[in-house]
Amino acid sequence: MLRPRELTPPLQNAGADRSGARSLARAAWAAFVLTLPVYLATMNRTIGFIDRGELAATAYTLGIPHPTGYPTFTALGWLVSHLVPLRPVLVLNAFAAILVAASSAGLVFLFGDLLQRVSKDEAQTPGRARLALLCALFTAFSIRWWQQANGFEVYALHLALLPIVLLSFLRWVDAASAATESGMSSLSWSPRASGFAFALLLGLSFTNHMTTGLLAPGLLFYAWDRLGGVRSFGRAVLPLAIPFLIGLSPYGLLPILSASGPRFDWGGTHTLHGFLAHLTAREFQGWVSFAPDTLGVQTRYLLWCLGRDLVWVGLVPAGFGIVLLGRRQRSLAIAIGLIIVTSAFFAASYRIRELDPYLIGCVLGLALFAAAGLLAIQERFGPRVALVAGLGLIALGGALHLHDCNESQNRLVEDLTANQLGSLPPRAVLFTKQWDYFLSASWYFQEVDGLRRDVVVVSPDLLRHGWYVDELARRAPDLMAIARREAGAYREALRPFEEHRPYEPATIR
């Protein structure tokens, strides 16, 4: 009787790779299916605090929100809100929940790739997928991650893009490094295709949120270490310029939309000055401070937040992961550490109350370490202990964070906005600085829901910007006609202030 021939090592590896890919795909689908119902059940049914009203209003009307404009997110929101025949805010909030649930699936693939790099036994593909799923769910039910599924905010798409950007980066570095070691050209098919995918996704991620740039120190270090040498690094990186610029192309929507005179036209990006100022978030740069008192207060807050995100005991596997990665993949451990430190430093220097979303890079970096830590536990104590540890972290995180992340009954902003607008006489003019609680929300309720459109709501803070004066003239021409001469003089006085030329402060107070 003839025996079947033994598989050759390449065929064994190919079979293991296919099995691993299928296991990870199933785990990713499980992550999406398990997180989405929770996110949908706990999301806000209406407008929430801070920027959610403005972003929902600009998405539905295809306008331009605050810097940096978020053209990809706005365009997707416009498309979704007009395709689904339900109340726009409900559709947009559900869309955010779907994006964050999709991010949990992306995390499975990212964690799976990390575990493959550091695992001693490449044949343990089912175990690797299981650990990746456990860590993805643990991350998905952290406060900073979960809260982005509660309402329509740019960070929902940011979360969906981050894992695949990092995964595509690792694949590109692998391909470029292999090409360099084998003497092949970095322009050969494998590094070219993987590099195109990475650069395109990176550029697209920048069009959604500029904090993608916080990844730069870690990614640059890892690429430099793996590729080695100025010449090899340059040959691998330069071809990424064109796909990166293609990924940035949605920013071309801003001047086009602005020139069409939309209801919301923050920044007046149809002019070169307005476009560059918006793209660089110039009006928000004053909020960045490196003063010791600012850094001290913000650092204490972010350390508390990160500890709570990992339910404190999650710091133990993260610590194990740091040790494991430091021994087996030192450059990768340093790269992840740089992402955490860079994100933490930026968050600590940003003097705003909405600090939580800027800790996303820290949470993701610590989650990567925790994934490696679960692998260390599995290798030392066995898969059952690792499974119990992972399930325990998920259950603890879900139980402790549910109160902070459940906004299903939160109608505070809608009630406040309806009460304030409803109590005013016809054709009233309301001056308010309550952006977080009322002004942002009024943009949505007035322009999308049609609530008290006769009332003109004016922001004294935004009146210091010429684009807002122009927008007010379009929105309330009768009001501006009353003081046409004064408004024109004020608009001219604003120009040198906006263009950073000498100006007379008394004329624009």
The amino acid present at 287, given as its one-letter code, is: W
Q: Which of 131, 466, 467, 468 is nearest to 456 (CA)?
A: 468
The whole-number average pLDDT for the span 17-31 is 87
Mean pLDDT over residues 219-227, rounded? Answer: 92
Can you give the pLDDT at residue 11?
Answer: 40
Residue 417 backbone phi and psi in degrees, to 5: -65, -45
Of 394, 306, 301, 308, the closest CA to residue 349 belongs to 301
Q: How confident is the model at residue 124 (pLDDT cuts 50, 70, 90)?
A: low
Tokens coding 117: 């790099």
Over residues 422-464, the pLDDT tens digits come to 999 999 999 999 998 999 999 999 999 999 999 999 999 888 8
Look up residue 294 and give its amino acid: T
419 and 451 in contact (C-beta within 8 Å)? no
Looking at residue 8, what is its pLDDT?
37
Averaged pLDDT, 46-55: 94
The one-letter amino acid code at 137 reads L
Cis peptide before 68 (omega within 30 of 0): yes
Which of the two residues, 353 and 58, has the higher pLDDT score? 58
Tokens of 34: 């398990």
Contact, 264 vs 63, CB < 8 A?
Answer: yes
Q: What is the pTM of this model?
A: 0.91
Contact 208, 157 (CB under 8 A): yes
Q: Which two tokens stand for residue 302?
A: 């972010």
Distance of alpha carbon 13 from alpha carbon 17, whole angstroms: 6
Q: How far apart are CA 166 and CA 141, in angstroms?
A: 20
